[in-house]
Amino acid sequence: MHNMRDRVRQLQEAFRELFGTHPAVLVRSPGRVELLGNHTDYNEGYVLPIAINVDVLAAGRLRDDDTIAVHSTNFGTTVEFSLLRIERDEVNTWSNYVRGVVCFLQEAGVTLQGANIALQGNVPVGSGLSSSAAVEMAVGFLMQTLVGFDMTGPDLALIGQKAENKFVGVNTGIMDQFISRLGRKDHALFLDCRTLEYDYLPLDTSSVKIVVCDTMKRRGLVDSEYDLRRSQCEEAARLLGQWIPNVRALRDVTAADFESHKHKLPEVIRKRAEHVVYENERVLKSRDVLKGGNYAEFGRLFDESHESARRLYEVSCVELDTMVEVCRHSPGCLGSRLTGAGFGGCTISLVRDECVNDFVETARLGYEQRTGVAPEVYVCTAEDGASVVAADS
């Protein structure tokens, strides 16, 4: 996690070298972790993410033509495209996140102009901390800052989701873009994925830290399994809708309703629905838990969530289970669970601040002893969403 000031200076220098001018503005947009709300988003349910202290920086200046030139310092390449004709790039696929956002901003009626852009990110790609949404929101917020058009945070998040779904072609929910744009320091964001109503809940990261442990197992098979889970959930909602009125998605099924009718469901469908129904309950419960500052109880919800994801939703794997077990036996741990899609990627643990260093050392060593793999560990705080870091005075 390099120092922000150094990263800003390096990106400004890179911009000057590439484009011969100083950037007019530089923005940051963070990665995220989902604290609770595992696979609830596409069931129109509730999620509880935070924006974290890794991010994508975007520097930019408008040009007087219709060209967008964008450089990625991470990939060391520059691409150019015309605002009048935006097509997918099959070679520099990273640029499709940029192209998609620009494309759908224009489709939404925003008048853009050409710009030079340079991007630099320190969100670990493939870890499940959502580098793609951070790129989308960095570019969207940068263009908004440069051009000065009016657009609410939720609407910009929807543009980013559309870019990911329709332009890049990855079928994701709204959570990642939403938290990257609308995160708030020392708060978790409670989001209703159907209505997009949201609320900020206090999460004082000076007393507890969110520690992200990357198992280093890259998520294979996740796309086909993800699509399968989605269809199983749709099937569960369809079946339950025969007996419960007004069920459009699993978010409409209460725990009481589920308990009355679960015996009528095929076993696998029942397990998938049970996870989602009770995961939504956990997110709803976390509102009071966080408002009361009850971190022990919040950690217990992490533990419950993991068991449910492992046993009922079956999206865990040996590496994730091992990491969770190691973390639960490390100093100061209040709870631990897989985060994100599963099948690899990261776990998150809620850790008492005074134990963080011991926790990190114990967890790192314990995982390496049991798997032979050295994990990456990130101590995270809850940060603001997209914001301006530097601008020409």
Name beta bridge partners: 28.
57, 387
Q: 4-203+384-391 sits in which CATH class?
A: alpha beta
Tokens 């520099």: give the residue: 92
Is domain 208-380 classified as CATH 2.40.10.10?
no
**pTM score, whole prediction:** 0.93
Report residue 221's pLDDT band, with 50, 70 and 90 as the boundaries: low
- The segment(s) of the chain belonging to CATH 3.30.230.10 are 4-203+384-391
> With contact defined as beta carbons under 8 Å apart, do 370 and 255 qualify?
no
Q: Quote the CA–CA distance of 375 and 202 in Å, as a whole number.
A: 29
- For 347-372, the DSSP string reads EEEEEEGGGHHHHHHHHHHHHHHHHS
Mean pLDDT of 40-58: 95
| Token pair for 9 | 């200076």
> With contact defined as beta carbons under 8 Å apart, do 213 and 363 qualify?
yes
Which one-letter amino acid corresponds to residue 372?
G
> With contact defined as beta carbons under 8 Å apart, do 334 and 345 qualify?
no
Q: 175 Cβ partners below 8 Å, 6+ apart?
A: 32, 34, 37, 41, 47, 49, 191, 193
Q: What is the DSSP-derived secondary structure letter of residue 125?
A: T
Q: What is the DSSP-derived secondary structure letter of residue 353?
A: G
- Of 79-88, 133-142, 213-222, 250-259, which range is least confident? 213-222
Q: What is the DSSP-derived secondary structure letter of residue 184?
A: -
**What is the signed CA dihedral for 247, 251, 254, 255, rounded to 10 degrees?**
130
- The segment(s) of the chain belonging to CATH 3.30.70.890 are 208-380
Report residue 123's pLDDT band, with 50, 70 and 90 as the boundaries: confident
> With contact defined as beta carbons under 8 Å apart, do 168 and 97 qualify?
yes
223 has a pLDDT exceeding 80: no
> With contact defined as beta carbons under 8 Å apart, do 315 and 229 qualify?
yes
Q: Which of 227, 141, 241, 130 is nearest to 181 (CA)?
A: 141
Q: What is the CA radius of gyration of the chain?
A: 21
Q: Quote the CA–CA distance of 393 and 391 in Å, as a whole number.
A: 6
List pLDDT tens digits, range 95-117.
Answer: 999 999 999 999 999 999 999 99
Q: Quote the CA–CA distance of 265 and 245 in Å, as a whole number.
A: 17
| Token pair for 22 | 């100083």
Tell which wins on pLDDT, 2 or 93: 93
Catalytic sites, residue numbers: 176
> With contact defined as beta carbons under 8 Å apart, do 64 and 204 qualify?
no
| Extended beta strands in 38-123, E state | 46-62, 67-72, 77-82, 115-121
Q: Quote the CA–CA distance of 94 and 386 in Å, as a whole number.
A: 20
**What is the signed CA dihedral for 244, 246, 249, 254, rounded to 10 degrees?**
-50
Q: Quote the CA–CA distance of 94 and 100 in Å, as a whole number.
A: 11
Q: Quote the CA–CA distance of 228 and 209 in Å, as a whole number.
A: 34
Write down the pLDDT at residue 127. Answer: 61
- Of 59-68, 171-180, 272-281, which range is least confident? 171-180
- Of 109-113, 189-193, 221-225, which range is least confident? 221-225
- For 4-61, the DSSP string reads HHHHHHHHHHHHHHHHSS--SEEEEEEEEEEEE-TT-GGGT-EEEEEEEEEEEEEEEE
Q: Quote the CA–CA distance of 38 and 338 in Å, as a whole number.
A: 9
